[in-house]
Structure 1
Amino acid sequence: MQVNQSPNARRAAVADEVVDIEASNSPQRGSRSLAASRRLVAATVAGALSATALFAFAFNSRSTDMDASSESLNAEIAVPAAAASAAELGFADRSQEVSRSAVRSNLTEAVADENAKERTAALGASAETAAAEEWKSSTAVRDQLMDEDMKLVAAQSEKLRKEAEEAARLLAEAKKAAEEAAAAKAAAAKASASGSGSSKSADVAVSAQDVENLTTKGGSMPVKENYRMGAGFGARGSWSRYHTGQDFPAPTGTPIYAAASGVVLSSSAGGWAGVNVVIQHNNGGSTLYAHMSRKNVSPGATVKAGQLIGYVGNTGRSFGSHLHFEYYEPGVTPGDVYNASNPMSFLRSLGVR
């Protein structure tokens, strides 16, 4: 078992060992020289050991200081000065700066809104001016075109008047034939019941189909599906002067039906109506169906209420696919638009709602 010794004891032991080694390897000298040599060696060894101990102490102290300094340095390096400054600014009181920014933002938005309003007002004024000028020029052009159409209608009026008279005669004959046929049927039934034989049949000048068509009661909507109610009679807008009928916007090809029984007349010569059909009715009035894509009846044909007469289109002076439906009182030439009457009132008189 070894026992720890103090530094001085270790130095003395080492010195004795050195002296013993030197004494055993060197020739014998005088006692005085030997004693001096021992003291010199002991002093040298003691100095070396002291220097070693001092160096070790200094080294240990330096290591401790370096460790502390290193920890402090590492701590400073871990948080750079710029980052620390940013963190301080981040946690600093910025309420005044934020408030100023909000005020600037609000002012900017207010100025932008005001500028936008001014631009919108300027554009609106320009648009209104342009629209007014366009309206004036367009209205003048439409009025001129309609006046030319009215000249064509006036030139056609005599022809349509004669057709209307013939239609009225045909209607009267159909009515008379229907009455005679009913009377003959009643007489035949009476004769058959009494056993007196058959009665004379009525002399009918028109066909049974014409009689059926012309004596059918009631009325029909001119469009029955895929439509909506458009501009009405008397409305003012993009039309020349005012709207002279009832519009039924509907897809091209939508079926169009006769509003009531009657005789087909020649189509109106007015270019505004495009492909159109005119029908003279039992009451002496007539209806006009304008802007058709095509028609499937001809002048002189008889029709009954609800019979197919054509299809919706966009012909003539039309701004979209629709039926333009007009009604003319007895004595008014069909196509003389500024003497037309409300067609919806005519439909209501027929029981159509």
Structure 2
Amino acid sequence: MNDTPSRNARRAADPAHDEILEVEVVTPTTSPARRASRALGFSRRMIAMGVAGTVGASALFAFAFTARGNDVTDTIDASAAIPAAAMSAAAESFEDRSDDVSRNAVRSGLSDVVADKAAQERQQQLGAANESAVQAQADQSMAERDKLMDADMALVAAQAEKLKEEADEAAKLLEKARAAARDAKARGVDVGDVDSMSAEDIANLTNKGGSMPVKSNYRVGAGFGKRGTWSRYHTGQDFPAPTGTPIYAAASGVVLSPTAGGWAGTNVVIQHNNGGATLYAHMSRKVVRTGQTVKPGQLIGYVGNTGRSFGSHLHFEYYKPGTTPGDVYSASNPMVFLRSLGVNA
């Protein structure tokens, strides 16, 4: 039915009223494509929730079935039985929590930094405490070594007169050997026995050569004057080597009494042609006797670890003329003596 005339009549009667009536309420119309998209999104969320629930329920059921025959006495967190994938799917189906995840990551990072810093501080404190303990022990050991060495020096001082007498006799023997050698050479004959001295003794004492005190299976260790674990400083040259390694006379001379200082252990002292002496310490065994003549390179004993020693090695010392063998702080650099003989380590 056409109501146009009626409307026109009303307009004529009351124009304002007609304007109000002419305002139409327009309801937004959603397109079919948008409605389909919303429906699809809703369906995906429902599917995700359904999958998460199904997977979670399956996992709980499987866990309960497996644990049925076991004696489980501890309380079990249900979330532990739900796979991570299911939990993630459930979370995604409800809301976007990226902001929370970011904040949690920051908190975790800060916690890790704080924990690392605390661990470093603890490590530094432990290191400082350890260094302090080691230093205290070293100081105590050094004091003990000084005390022992002072006691040894008292023994060496008491022995000094005896060693001087032996050194004087050795010097006389050496001079007699040289005189006999000169006389034999002038007459053009072989050296024979001279006043209880054998030709071998004379040959030994007049030999001007030199030899390394060790010749194999060794290395050059701590040198003369080095600071370290020794009392005050190192008084000779070390040659670390296996126990039983042969030790040889560095030069010709006469064997004196060993030093009385307990630090040297089994040792040999040799008075040489120049009036100086060498000392060979920490031997496992010696094969020469006091008063015996030796030539350069002659076997005198074997490497060991006797006395105050920190491992198998030869401790080799040199004493200039006028000093007492074994009075360690009057010793000189033995490598200089070896080089004077034409020997290089």
| Equivalences for residues 286-301 of structure 1 within 5 A | 286-301=277-292
3-state SS in 2 of match to 1:256 = strand
| Residue 125 (structure 2) aligns with | 122
Runs of 4+ that moved beyond 6 A: 90-94, 200-203
Deviation sequence 1:69-94 (CA, Å, 0-9, x none): xxxxxxx8xx7452588547579977
Residue 314 (structure 1) aligned with residue 305 (structure 2): yes
Q: 1:292 to 1:102 in 2, by over 3 A?
A: farther
Rg larger in structure = 1
Among 212, 217, 220, which residue is 1:226 paired with?
Answer: 217
CA drift at 1:338: 0.8
The answer as to whether partners of 1:292 and 1:312 remain within 8 angstroms in 2 is yes
Residues 214-264 of structure 1 show CA distances to partners (whole Å, capped at 9, x for unaligned) of 122221111122222221111111111111111111111111111111111
Counting matched residue pairs gives 265
| CA distance in 1: counterparts of 2:238 and 2:132, whole angstroms | 29
Match of residue 199 from structure 2: 208
Q: In 2, distance between residues paired with 1:94 and 1:212? A: 101
Q: 2:173 aligns with which of 152, 170, 175?
A: 170
* TM-score (norm: length of structure 1): 0.68
Inter-partner Cα distance in structure 1 for 2:100 and 2:210: 79
* Corresponding position of 1:217: 208
1:245 aligns with 2:236: yes
1:145 Cα deviation from its structure 2 partner: 1.1
Call closer, same or farther: CA 1:300–1:90 in 2, change over 3 Å: farther
Query: Does the Cα contact within 8 Å between 1:184 and 1:201 map onto a contact in 2?
Result: no
Unaligned runs of 5+ in 1: 1-75, 189-199
- CA distance, structure 2, for counterparts of residue 179 and residue 209 of structure 1: 15
User: Aligned AA for 2:200?
Assistant: Q
Listed as ranges, the gaps of 5+ residues in structure 2 are 1-46, 56-85
Q: For the structure 1 residues 257 and 96, does the alpha-carbon distance in structure 2 shift closer, same or farther, using more than 3 Å as the test?
A: farther
Q: Secondary structure at the match of 1:263?
A: strand
- State whether residues 52 and 89 of structure 2, in contact with CA within 8 Å, keep that contact through their aligned partners in structure 1: no
- Alignment-derived partner of residue 269 in structure 2: 278
CA-based RMSD? 2.7
3-state DSSP of counterpart to 1:331? coil
**Using the alignment, how far apart are the partners of 2:87 and 2:121 within structure 1?**
47
**SS across alignment from 2:118:** helix
Q: Which residue of 2 aligns with 1:110?
A: 113
2:44 aligned residue: none
* CA distance in 1: counterparts of 2:313 and 2:87, whole angstroms: 76
- The structure-2 alpha-carbon separation of the partners of 1:107 and 1:271, relative to structure 1 and needing over 3 Å to count, comes to same
| Partner-residue secondary structure (3-state), 2:117 | helix
State the partner residue of 2:327: 336
- Counterpart of 2:184 in structure 1 is 181
Give TM-score, length-normalised by structure 2: 0.70
Q: Which amino acid aligns with 2:151?
A: E
Q: What is the letter of the counterpart of residue 164 of structure 1?
A: A
User: Aligned partners of 1:222, 1:300: CA distance in 2, in Å?
Assistant: 20
Q: Structure 1 counterpart of 2:194, which letter?
A: V
Cα distance, 1:132 vs structure 2: 2.8
Identify the range of structure 1 (231-240 vs 261-270) with the bigger mean alpha-carbon deviation. 231-240
Match of 2:145 among 142, 145, 151: 142
